[in-house]
A and B are shown apart, each in its own frame.
Chain A
Amino acid sequence: MEDHDQSLLKLRFPSQADRLKMVRGAVSEAAKRCGCTAEVARDIVIAVDEACQNVIRHAYGGASDGEIILEIRHTGDEIVVFLRDFAKATEVAKVKPRELDDLRPGGLGTHFIGEVMDEVEFMPSPPDGGNLLRMVKRIA
């Protein structure tokens, strides 16, 4: 596949649950436009949606005036998602999926992200604070 790097989508939106429907629609459209199958597009939508929820619920603690920046790039045979917030730095060691045998409501979002994406990592905290999550889906 030709080696290239193209921005597919860049969105800036507040930390509000009612914005996620719009975000999911835009992510799905961007993924399909660059040739992703419906299944791959669905996986990327799930990962972005769950990661945004983590930011809204945990990083911003439910505050509705936080800012989230989403960028999706098509690089070579990868779709790379960057999710930026400006909340207090996340304690990465505490971000882990729950055991699936531990049947209780909640705690599944991080598990879903790990299941549908090929790479998930918190990048070093940006100089102006907050968090930067990088997620990769290989599409070759």
Chain B
Amino acid sequence: MIYRIKDENGTTVVAFEGEVDLESSPEARRILLDCLGRTSSLLVDLSAVTYIDSSGIASLVESFQNARKAGRHFALVAVSGSVLSVLRLSRLDKVFTIYDTLEDGLARAG
């Protein structure tokens, strides 16, 4: 898994790429929670994630819950088909705010 972090007019965008699995999910969790400590709006770009397991999903859930408690905006954007199918398995596609594209997410975050 590799990742990129960028700021888009006050919204932090974390883009993951590759596989978010038992080996890499602790790093994904740390990155997301670190970013939430420094921003009021976080978008997670999952367009280039080719595989995510339950530990990766747990990192997203924990971040979502932290953001909600802290009153921060948290959303997933451009979710790849493989990630979306796993979110659907856990019915979390109905829990997370999901935007089809990064541009949509930035427009709504602003």
Taking CB as reference atom, which chain B residue is nearest A56? B22
Give the tally of cross-chain contacts (CB within 8 A).
55
Task: Out of A18, A20, A112, name the residue touching B89 (CB < 8 Å).
Answer: A112
Asked whether B101 is an interface residue with its Cβ less than 8 Å from the other chain, the reply is: no
Interface contact A108-B58, CB-CB below 8 Å: yes
Interface centre among B21, B53, B57, B61 (most CB of A within 10 A): B53
Q: Which of under 10, 10 to 19, 20 to 34, or 35 or more describes the interface residues of A?
A: 20 to 34
Q: How many residues of B contact A (CB 8 A)?
A: 21
Name 17 extra pairs, CB < 8 A, besides A46-B89, A106-B54.
Answer: A17-B21, A20-B22, A20-B23, A21-B23, A42-B82, A49-B21, A50-B54, A53-B22, A53-B53, A57-B22, A100-B90, A105-B58, A105-B62, A111-B89, A111-B90, A112-B54, A115-B89
Residues of B within 8 A of A (CB): 19, 21-23, 51, 53-55, 57-59, 61-62, 65, 82, 85-86, 89-91, 95
